Amino acid sequence: MTSTTLFEPYTLGSLTLSNRIVMAPLTRNRAGPGFVPGDLAAQYYGQRASAGLLISEATQISQQGQGYQDTPGIYSRAQIDGWRKVTTAVHAKGGRIFLQLWHVGRVSHVDLQENGAAPVAPSAIRAATKTFVGNGFVDVSEPRALELDELAGIVNDFRQAAANAIEAGFDGVEIHGANGYLLDQFAKDGANLRTDAYGGSVENRARLMLEVATAVVEEIGAERTGIRISPISPANGVSSSAPQAQFDYIVDQLDVLGIVYIHVVEGATGGSRDVAPFDFGSLRRRFNNTYIANNGYDLELAASRLAEGKADLFAFGRPFIANPDLVERLQTRAPLATFDQATLYGGGSAGYTDYPAIAASSQR
């Protein structure tokens, strides 16, 4: 089997993807007033529509769920209308796109919360991380522990956000259960010290993530529902004393739900693939639908893992920033452009929509 099989069509639920390359979620902090994605976002995603599947930047399901400045939402009419421009642009070029649904939990700052409220979390433990507010990165704020009777409202916010995403024209949604955000905080005992039905045992700590997944499936269907998980990533200060048992159980339950894919960060998010011992093959064997592999993949690694049957789709993140035509560049083994670190977060078109495709690059 050769690397060209990465560029063959793939069936994801009821969708036919043009190839097995996924554009991973990439936070860019460019939403306009009201946290509405604008015309530049439509251009940005449209430029990258040759990916087999695009997964949008993380998108908060409520103001409470926001943790970074100028990230988009999916809870207002203006936000739905703004995202519809994005999905129209992607579909016009034959692409497929899912919206990533996000609640950051404790990874937030009082300046981003309604009336300066404290961020929320499973337990009142401040995260050892920073967030993007104003003109730079600052320490996150001290959170408060969510009351038991608040959790149903958060589940419903995910449900409504999924319905809004479909109204906006998305092909499906990806629940963000990774990288130390709210659902991951509940799942991992380093952040969750609760003694009620949402803390303690493997089953209890998985409860909120699984309730959210169930609600989304009930709202929009399993074939439109995916989830991202990061079993051993220490992102945003989370830790788990027994990640294998925790995520084997979670994936078993997700398989029963029949969701269309799991998107797995293999290792530390954006870092070492070997940050801690973990058998990702166990998740692959437990899940009967699509497995998307993420973290440090290049053409050679993706091709070899595909040949070994270790994943179905492969997510590329930052390479898509400076290479809107990444699929073509990988297929032709053309050189990859590098992105400008200074323009990653916030700003306008510079470092966002002005990276040229390879044909344009060669004419410069």
Task: Identify the active-site residue in 75, 181, 198, 261.
Answer: 181
For residue 162, give both structure tokens.
Answer: 């999924």
What is the C-alpha separation between 323 and 238, in angstroms, rounded?
Answer: 32
Q: Confirm whether 44 is a catalytic residue.
A: no
Q: What is the pLDDT of residue 360?
A: 53
Taking CA 139 as the corner, what is the angle to CA 135 and CA 143, rounded to the nearest 5 degrees? 125
Per-residue CA distances from 282 to 93, 244, 249, 304, 319 (Å): 37, 9, 11, 18, 28
Q: Tens of pLDDT along the chain (364 residues)?
A: 344 599 999 999 999 999 999 999 999 999 999 999 999 999 999 999 999 999 999 999 999 999 999 999 999 999 999 999 999 999 999 999 999 999 999 999 999 999 999 999 999 999 999 999 987 899 999 999 999 999 999 999 999 999 999 999 999 999 999 999 999 999 999 999 999 999 999 999 999 999 999 999 999 999 999 999 999 999 999 999 999 999 999 999 999 999 999 999 999 999 999 899 999 999 999 999 999 999 999 999 999 999 999 999 999 999 999 999 999 999 999 999 999 999 999 999 999 999 999 875 454 4
At the top level of CATH, which class does the domain 10-291 belong to?
alpha beta
What is the C-alpha separation between 227 and 287, in angstroms, rounded?
Answer: 12
Q: Helix, strand, or coil here: 262?
A: strand
What is the C-alpha separation between 182 and 260, in angstroms, rounded?
Answer: 22
Q: Residues 6 or more apart from 298 whose CB is under 8 A from it?
A: none
Provide the residue ranges of all domains of the chain, joining segments of one domain with +.
10-291
